[in-house]
């Protein structure tokens, strides 16, 4: 199915399992996550990929509703066996348009079990119905609510991290910046192949424009939907790398993928954080595509990289 010949780009060799997977996507005509520039249709496609995450691992889960800036925000609380475990407030990916508590339920369970953290998965508002800064406002409110109610939730307020993947990584980076002067901010930030500059032209965006799960058209279309007509692309709430000062931010675990259009901006943001004096652990998963956190069910390199990511997360939240 993969053609038998290894895929090598920019010195990186694509994981064979992901090579077969991306080949199968191309054979069905899928070169990205956006279908016909239709949000509803693209959301259905995204939700249909949930089985790729593998069967849900058993952890304790509770549904929650918390107050938000524009009404209630749904949230799910995942608890590991360890009482009083550190917490991670997590924002799902999907270009600010796709994704849900359900599509990220397997991911939240994996993070909870493997990293031994309580996970608060946030159902923030999506574009285009709710353009920027709606998602950022919801995520900021959710993090602050968890800190404020930490004692009743069974977690020490100074042991709460913030994290997300792709657009969720941008939201996590934004929350880390916006809470810099809060009495209690995140103990660390987990940024999995984050969007850091919504309109930046990079070499990786050109190299992986199509055929590797997330495409260039996807990025352009997602950006249009989220920015709407009033949010400038250089606002740090949508482009965290555009912040004028990155000093004083919490330690960052930054994970990038070698076959991802977002690779270069994630690596550049990690370097910028380090230059600003922030403690950074950059993990470059060179054989991976965008979205590998959702592909544990495929096995192969995706599962190996998820194990490395969650092991690093476990170490960092406890060190903090």
User: What is the phi-psi region of residue 122: left when phi exceeds 0, alpha when psi lies from -120 to 50, beta otherwise?
Assistant: beta
- Which of 290, 296, 302, 316 is flagged as catalytic? 290
Q: Got the DSSP string for 130-155?
A: S-TTHHHHHHHHHHHHHHHTHHHHTS
Quick check: is 92 catalytic? no
Distance CA 69, CA 52 (A): 34
- Per DSSP, 121 falls in state E
Q: Please say whether the beta carbons of 306 and 110 come within 8 A.
A: yes
Distance CA 14, CA 220 (A): 24
| Structure token pair of residue 247 | 């000093």
- Which of 218, 260, 264, 296 is flagged as catalytic? 260
Integer-rounded Cα Rg, in Å, for the chain is: 18
Q: Got the DSSP string for 165-184?
A: ETHHHHHHHHHHHHTTTSSS
- Which of 42, 103, 121, 166 is flagged as catalytic? 166
Q: Please say whether the beta carbons of 18 and 11 come within 8 A.
A: no
Distance CA 254, CA 207 (A): 21
Name the strand (E) or helix (H) holding 18: helix 16-27
Strands 160-165, 118-123: pairing is unpaired
Quick check: is 37 catalytic? no
Distance CA 299, CA 54 (A): 9
User: What is the phi-psi region of residue 157: left when phi exceeds 0, alpha when psi lies from -120 to 50, beta otherwise?
Assistant: alpha
Q: Please say whether the beta carbons of 320 and 35 come within 8 A.
A: no
Q: Please say whether the beta carbons of 187 and 159 come within 8 A.
A: yes
Token match 């279908």: residue?
35
State the catalytic residues.
166, 260, 290
């Amino acid at each position: 199915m993969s053609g038998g010949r290894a895929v090598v780009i920019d010195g990186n060799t694509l994981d064979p399992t992901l090579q077969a997977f991306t080949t199968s996507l191309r054979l069905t005509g899928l070169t990205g996550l956006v279908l016909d520039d239709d949000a509803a249709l693209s959301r259905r496609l995204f939700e249909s990929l949930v089985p790729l995450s593998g069967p849900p691992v058993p952890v304790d889960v509770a549904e929650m509703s918390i107050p938000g800036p524009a009404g209630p925000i749904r949230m799910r609380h995942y608890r590991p066996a360890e009482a009083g475990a550190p917490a991670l407030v997590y924002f799902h990916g999907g270009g600010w348009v796709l994704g849900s508590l359900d599509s990220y339920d397997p991911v939240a369970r994996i993070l909870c079990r493997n990293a031994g953290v309580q996970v608060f998965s946030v159902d923030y508002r999506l574009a285009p119905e709710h353009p920027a800064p709606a998602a950022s406002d919801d995520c900021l409110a959710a993090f602050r609510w968890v800190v404020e109610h930490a004692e009743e939730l069974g977690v020490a307020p100074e042991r709460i991290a913030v994290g997300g993947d792709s657009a969720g990584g941008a939201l996590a980076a934004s929350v880390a910046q916006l809470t810099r002067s809060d009495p209690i901010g995140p103990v660390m930030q987990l940024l999995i192949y984050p969007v850091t500059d919504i309109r930046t032209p990079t070499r990786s965006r050109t190299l992986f424009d199509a055929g590797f799960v997330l495409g260039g058209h996807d990025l352009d279309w997602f950006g249009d939907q989220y920015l709407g007509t009033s949010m400038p692309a250089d606002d740090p709430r949508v482009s965290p790398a555009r912040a004028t000062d990155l000093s004083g931010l919490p330690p960052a675990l930054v994970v990038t993928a070698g076959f991802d259009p977002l690779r270069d901006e994630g690596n550049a943001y990690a370097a910028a954080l380090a230059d600003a004096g922030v403690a950074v652990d950059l993990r470059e998963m060179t054989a991976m595509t965008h979205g590998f956190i959702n592909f544990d069910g495929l096995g192969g390199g995706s599962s190996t990289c998820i194990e490395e990511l969650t092991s690093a997360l476990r170490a960092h939240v406890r060190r903090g």
